[in-house]
Amino acid sequence: MSGTVHHRHPGDGWVVCGDHRHWGLHGAAGLFLVRRAPAAPDGTPEPVTDVVLQHRATWSHHGGTWGIPGGAVSPGETPTQGALREAGEEAGIDPAAVRVVAEHVLDHDVWSYTTVLAEAVDGARTEVAATDPESIEVRWVPLADVAGLDLHPAFAAALPHLVRLLEDDG
């Protein structure tokens, strides 16, 4: 990771929400990028097989846990634009390599987090890597193995719902 820099954006900062705080002055967003097994001969979509996960830097909020690439949304940016930008910065994900299929918004009135659900356009060849200091590691993880990782608490809580949304979309 030598030579990499931490990207700073005008949306970076904490928002106080009750007795806790959230990152992102204009909200935050992350990319839940998945790939599926090849489609069945009859065209029936196959289930999700893998998801891109980021092992968060120890100095970050809930550091050392696994979650999805994401961060603060910048002023004038949509949550989808912010999620794709952050995924590019943190995981080297090319926005042209994904197909956005849905958004899920967690609204806290003064702050919101948008999970952008997407599928890899060419899943077998979509490469990911830790591309800035916010990541210890970024990799494709088999969906069946995700629950065995030390997950970011909010991601762990949302995961079953996010997978259901993708299965319903499939």
Q: Where does the pLDDT of residue 140 fall: very low under 50, low under 70, confident under 90, or very high at 90 and above?
A: very high
Class for the domain spanning 14-38+45-169: alpha beta
Is 20 or 105 the better-scoring residue by pLDDT? 105
For residues 32 and 136, what is the distance between their CA atoms, to the nearest angstrom? 18
Highest mean pLDDT among 19-23, 45-49, 87-91, 104-108: 87-91
**Average pLDDT of every residue of the chain:** 82
pLDDT score of 2 more than 50: no
Q: Can you give the pTM of this predicted structure?
A: 0.80
For residues 37 and 68, what is the distance between their CA atoms, to the nearest angstrom? 20
Is 125 or 165 the better-scoring residue by pLDDT? 165
Q: Where does the pLDDT of residue 58 fall: very low under 50, low under 70, confident under 90, or very high at 90 and above?
A: confident
Mean pLDDT of the 29-48 span: 81
Mean pLDDT of the 71-92 span: 90
Query: How far is the CA of 122 from the CAs of 29, 31, 37, 71, 164, in angstroms?
Result: 23, 16, 11, 25, 22
Q: Where are the domains of the chain?
A: 14-38+45-169
Q: Where does the pLDDT of residue 117 fall: very low under 50, low under 70, confident under 90, or very high at 90 and above?
A: very high
